[in-house]
Amino acid sequence: MGWDWSLFRLANDLAGKSAVLDTIIRLFMNDYGCTTMLVLLVFGLWFSGHTEAERERNQRGVLSTVAALAMANLVVKAINLVYWRWRPFTYHEVTLLFYHPSDSSFPSNAATVGFCLAASVLFFNRKAGLALLVIASLFSLSRVIGGVHYPTDILGGLVIGSLAAWIANRRAPWLNKIWTPIIRRMRRLVLA
Amino acid sequence: MLYFVSAQLAIGYWLFALLSAIGALQWVAARYRLGGLALFDLGRHRSRGYRLAAVLVLGSTAAFFASQWDPIFAPGPAGSELAVLFSASALCALLVTLLGAPLLRSARRAAPRAELLSEAGPLVPVGHAQGRLLEPVVGEAVAPVGQPGPAVCLVPGGVDSELAMAVLARRLTEDGMVCLLIHPDPSAYAFPAALAILPAAASLLAKRPDVDPNRIAAVGDGAGGDLTIRSASTSKEVKTLVAVAPILREPPVGLGLLRELSYSEALRWSRDRGRAELVGGLEASSYSSRIPPRPGLLLYGSEDHLADKAARAELGGSLEVRTLPGLGHRNLAGHPDVMKIISDWLKEHL
């Protein structure tokens, strides 16, 4: 797709121009920083809430988020079995700020995880969801600038992650029946 | 099989995630006032929780990137390995926080010494229960020398409460009052048998030559406060009563308990069916309106999250309710300000 490549070039042209900018991009695009911050926010949400009702809403949301994440990862695995896309650096001259990932470029795992967490949390906690959305967006954008993903890989991850979040939070009421005994047991242990 | 690629990187990430998770818990503790998770003095320096959280999250991030910069940009653990490492870190962070918070709290605040009870004297039978008699300090008597004086029956809510009440009892003996500190034995505190404790205590005190039977007061703490209110609704022996943080209605079991209690205390609280049944059976809030006209004082801390706030609004009768700013539920009876209020109240009304 022409526009996909044009957008990729536009973003990737930012890389390699300034050592400071490259370092900032690297800080966002690596496998550890943003993912940890994303998961850390969800972890904190489990304990958050001024009232019992607010806390329970958050805890149900966190459990649905975990379910959405599992669902999104399964979809990515399934797509990887039937469709393979080479990374941008495989056949093109790109400025690479990262090591050579060996898995399929589409869909972006990073975007899938990031947008799945952000979208799922947006369903039950707007403030935290927006914070996650900012982190997920920076994480995904930095991956394009860094030369490891095409924009459509990110778009694919966004769609898969958001759909999984929507299904887990809005289209699977039976999940709540599973969460109820889990939360009840955790309450007995004073952990929910 | 899990493959972490580099042990150094895996350990570095585990430490980074551990410290960040502890930081996240400190932020939550400060934001939602969960003292059982706080590794700082939540009561006095809440803002330190936010600072501690920021230092832990930002500091561990900086340290991780500074120490592992090259391995971070080389092929490393995959998503499943990172998920395992983060889960292990989160679990350890929770353990460190739940175990560390009470240790730091006890280091900050000296709890009443357990020896106080043995110093108070041996247990004597009080009906089917037991208690300790504390003699008034000679020379400080409220009553003229040689005449019978006032007496107070102290009804604690549990083991911790017994220690706080022992401190209070010692203070009241210095005011010249004979004190009978009931021992909160679980078998004696069962409902409805517990209703016999206060009449038996009043009868025991009234028989003493140094006690004026018309100047007997009851002071209850926690579930003991509920028992005092309920007993006062039927007994005529008690001239005045003070209930310190009566529970009125059991709080729901869950994370909310960590606002007041440490994790181990919260676990014990949630498993204490005896107290829950006692408080439920006593129905102190509904019986408060049946107390015959007599001076009665209810004391609460503004940060009390164990005593039911909605049930407080249902309290009837002539009880005066005072809320002390900044104080919680635990050891309220042993707080110097509370002890002074109780002492002044008893001097005025006995």
Question: Is the same domain home to B232 and B176?
Answer: yes
Query: Per the CB < 8 Å rule, is A187 touching B253?
Result: yes
Question: Is the same domain home to B78 and B129?
Answer: no
pLDDT at B110: 67
Residue range B258-312, pLDDT digits in tens: 999 999 999 999 999 999 999 999 999 889 888 888 899 999 999 898 988 888 8
Query: Per the CB < 8 Å rule, is B72 touching A191?
Result: no
pLDDT at B140: 52
Contacting residues for A116 by C-beta, under 8 A, at least 6 apart: A65, A68, A69, A72, A160, A161, A162, A164, A165
The nearest CA of chain B is from the CA of A39 a distance in Å of: 9
Question: Is the same domain home to B265 and B173?
Answer: yes
Whether the CB of A59 is below 8 Å from some CB of chain B: the reply is: no
Assigned domain for B193 exists: yes
Question: Is the same domain home to B190 and B64?
Answer: no
pTM score > 0.95 for this model?
no
Assigned domain for B2 exists: no
pLDDT at B145: 66
Q: Which domains does chain A have, with CATH numbers?
A: 2-188 (1.20.144.10)
The nearest CA of chain A is from the CA of B230 a distance in Å of: 29
Query: Per the CB < 8 Å rule, is A47 touching B17?
Result: no
Question: Is the same domain home to B183 and B299?
Answer: yes
Q: Look up the CATH number of the domain holding residue B195.
A: 3.40.50.1820
Question: Is the same domain home to B57 and B138?
Answer: no
Mean pLDDT lowest among B64-73, B91-100, B318-327 = B318-327
Q: What would the 3-class secondary structure string for chain A be?
A: CHHHHHHHHHHHCCCCCCHHHHHHHHHHHCCCHHHHHHHHHHHHHHCCCCCHHHHHHHHHHHHHHHHHHHHHHHHHHHHHHHCCCCCHHHHCCCCCCCCCCCCCCCCCHHHHHHHHHHHHHHCCCHHHHHHHHHHHHHHHHHHHHCCCCCHHHHHHHHHHHHHHHHHHHHCCCHHHHHHHHHHHHHHHCCCC
Q: Which of B71, B89, B110 is the last residue of a domain?
A: B110
Q: Check pLDDT > 70 for residue A163.
A: yes
pLDDT at B171: 92
Tokens encoding A140: 């995904």
Assigned domain for B116 exists: no
Question: Is the same domain home to B95 and B136?
Answer: no
Question: Is the same domain home to B92 and B168?
Answer: no
Whether the CB of A50 is below 8 Å from some CB of chain B: the reply is: yes
Q: Which of B110, B136, B170 is the last residue of a domain?
A: B110
* ipTM reported for the complex, 2 dp: 0.95
User: Which residues from B are below 8 Å from A when comparing CB atoms?
Assistant: 13, 16-17, 20-21, 24-25, 27-28, 31-32, 34, 37, 57, 61, 64-65, 72-77, 79, 82, 86, 90, 94, 252-258, 263, 266-267, 270
The nearest CA of chain A is from the CA of B134 a distance in Å of: 38
pLDDT at A178: 97
Q: Check pLDDT > 70 for residue B213.
A: yes
Assigned domain for B267 exists: yes
Which among A40, A98, A113 has the least Cβ separation from residue B20? A40
Assigned domain for B323 exists: yes
Which among B28, B252, B267 has the least Cβ separation from residue A52? B252
Question: Is the same domain home to B165 and B207?
Answer: yes
Query: Per the CB < 8 Å rule, is A32 touching B266?
Result: no
Q: Which of A25, A29, A30, A36 to mutate to test the interface with B (most CBs of B within 10 A)?
A: A36
Task: Tell me the helices (H) and strands (E) count for chain B, helix number first.
Answer: 13, 8
Average pLDDT over residues B72-101: 95
Assigned domain for B186 exists: yes
Assigned domain for B150 exists: yes
pLDDT at A57: 97
Pick A168 or B42 by higher pLDDT.
Answer: A168
Question: Is the same domain home to B104 and B144?
Answer: no
Question: Is the same domain home to B176 and B316?
Answer: yes
Q: Check pLDDT > 90 for residue A45.
A: yes
Average pLDDT over residues A43-47: 98
Containing domain of residue B285, as a range?
121-349
- How far is the C-alpha of B320 from the C-alpha of B337, rounded, in Å? 17
Task: Centre a 10 Å sphere on the Cβ of residue A6 and count the other Cβ atoms it contains.
Answer: 11
Question: Is the same domain home to B142 and B259?
Answer: yes
Task: Centre a 10 Å sphere on the Cβ of residue B195 and count the other Cβ atoms it contains.
Answer: 16
Q: How many domains does chain B have?
A: 2
Q: Which residues of B touch A55 (CB under 8 A)?
A: 254-256
Q: Which residues of A touch B266 (CB under 8 A)?
A: 190
Contacting residues for A3 by C-beta, under 8 A, at least 6 apart: none
Assigned domain for B263 exists: yes
Task: Centre a 10 Å sphere on the Cβ of residue B311 and count the other Cβ atoms it contains.
Answer: 18
Q: Which of B56, B77, B110 is the last residue of a domain?
A: B110
Q: Which residues of B touch A109 (CB under 8 A)?
A: 79
